[in-house]
Amino acid sequence: MADETGDDLLFFEAMVQQKISDFLSKTEVALTDWEAAKKKPEDMEKEIKALRLSHQLFSNWLKKSLKGKKDGFSACGRLLEYSEICVTIERARSD
């Protein structure tokens, strides 16, 4: 049973890795467009700041996740860290 749980965690982590990779690619395009824009609406500054933070935190998490030990226990810790990053970003967006 423990092996199945570990396999499930590794599978879920792989799915999150793919979603984060896609997010990072799209975020890089959005941030590049923002930097190149001549007009930058002030009301978007907070969102751009949160987007930059998201990119930084998720990029670091993805690197750590891809290099990490491939067992259920380690994956569980990284997924917990991922959820903490999500909370941090949400707080940054609401401040």
Domain spans of the chain? 2-94
pLDDT tens for residues 36-81?
999 999 999 999 999 999 999 999 999 999 999 999 999 999 999 9
| Residue 1 confidence (pLDDT) above 50 | no
Q: In whole numbers, what is the pLDDT of the chain averaged over residues?
A: 93
The confidence score (pLDDT) of residue 95 equals 78
This prediction has a pTM of 0.90
The confidence score (pLDDT) of residue 14 equals 97
Question: How many beta carbons lie within 10 A of that of residue 75, not counting itself?
Answer: 23
Residue of 7 and 4 predicted with greater confidence: 7
